[in-house]
Structure 1
Amino acid sequence: MKEIQARNALVVSCMRRAGFTAFGGDGLQPAQAPDNATALPAGAWGYLGAGAAAVQGFHPPTRTAPRPVGSPAGSGEAYDAARVDCDRQAAERIGSPPGNGTALVSRLFDESFRATGRDERVVAATRNWSGCMAAAGFQADDPAVLPGRFQGAREITASEIATARADADCTASSNLGGIWFAVLAGYQRQLIDRNAQALTAQREAVRAQDEKLMRLLAGDGPSAAP
C-alpha cells in the first residue's frame, strides 16, 4: 500500500512539473487498505463465523468497487509522453522490492500449511468435524473444499445457508479452528527459528525500503508541485 502511495505521489508531482497542473492521479491505482469484509468467509480449516453463515452462506459480502483516483487532466501526444516518462521516473526512484524475501516467506508459509494438514491433531479434529457434519445430514470430508460447492453460484440458496450453518456449528464443537491455528503457529515458529538469519536480513531490507518510501512520500506529494 505504501509503495502505491509513493508511486502515485511521484507521478502526480512529475506530471504537474511537466505542465499538467490539473493532473490529480487519473489512471493511477488507488492505495486502499485491505478490506477484510470482502474476503471469502471460509478458511483452510472451515467456516469463520456463525453470523456470516446464517446470512451469506459461503459467499463473500458484496464488494464495493474502488473509486477512481482524480479526474482526467489531459490527453494527446504530449500528455501520453509525459505519463510514460513520469511512470518510468517513479519506478526508477522506488526501485525493486527488497531481495527474494517474498519467495522465502511464501515457501515457508506453504511448508507450514502442508505440515499442519498432515499433523495427527489436525487429522483427528477434521475427522470429528466430518462426523459432526454427517450427523447433521451433510457429507463432507474436507472443510477447505466445502465452500467450493457453492461459491460459483450467483444466488445464495437455502441449501447453502444450511450447509454453512452446520459447518460453523461443527467447526466450533470440534474446535477444529482452534486446533488448526495452534498447530499452524507451532510449525511456523519452528520454521522461523530455522530460517532466522535469512528472515532477519529480509526484515532489515523491508525496513530500509519502507524508510525510503516514507522519504519519497514526504518530499514528492502533490503539494510539492508548482
Structure 2
Amino acid sequence: RALPASALAGEAGVGAATASAHLAKLVEAEFVTVEARGRHRYFRLFGPDVSAALEALALIAPPLAITSLKQSSRTNALHRSRTCYDHLAGRLGVALMQSLLDHGVITGHDGIHRPAEAVRDRPSSYGRDLVYELSDEAPSVLAELGVDTGRLPPRRPAVRYCVDWSEHQHHLAGGLGAALKARLFALGWVRWGAAPRVVHLTDEGAAGLERTLGLVFV
C-alpha cells in the first residue's frame, strides 16, 4: 500500500531529509512510484517484479540483529502474515497456497521450495520455472469465497508463486493471489496491522478459511 515518506522514515529509523533523498533515487530508478494526495506524497513499490526481487534478496540476506521488544514483535508479525506487493505472504500466505493445493484448486507442484532444483542459469525464471495451473474444480471452490476466476486479469498469469523469504516455501502470487487478497480484505477476514506490510487474520477470517478451505491457522 502507498505510504507517506514520514511513515517510511520512521520504519527505517532515518530522518525525513534522508528518507526523501533515498525515495527520490528509487522513484528515478522506477523501483518506487509516487502519487500526490493533497499536500502529501505517497510512495509504493513500482510493480510485482520489484516485490519479487526484494523477496529473493531477503532469502539470502543475513538476518538483522533484534535488540528490542518492539523489533521482536514486528519481526514475528511479519513472519506470521504480511503482504508481498498485491498478495499475501508469511505463514498465512504459505498456508493459503498449501490449502489450495491440498484441495486441488491449483496443481503443478507441491509448494515446497527446493533450492537445489531451482533454475540457476536463468535469473528471470524466479517464480516462473515451476508452473502452477488452476484445476477444473477451481471455479466452483473459489466461488464460495466470492472469487470469479473468469474475471482474473487476462494478461497476467492466473497462478504464479514467490519463494517466501521467512518460510522458504511458496506463497501464491499472480492474478489469483491478488484477487484472494482483495477479497479477504473486502470480507473483513484480514485487516492491516500497525506496521507497513503487516496484516492480521480476524476471528471471522479464521472461521471462514477453515469453513471454505479447511485452513486452520494458529
Structure 1 length normalisation: TM-score?
Answer: 0.26
Question: Rg larger in 1 or in 2?
Answer: 1
Higher relative contact order (CA 8 A, sep 6+): 1
- TM-score after normalising by structure 2: 0.26
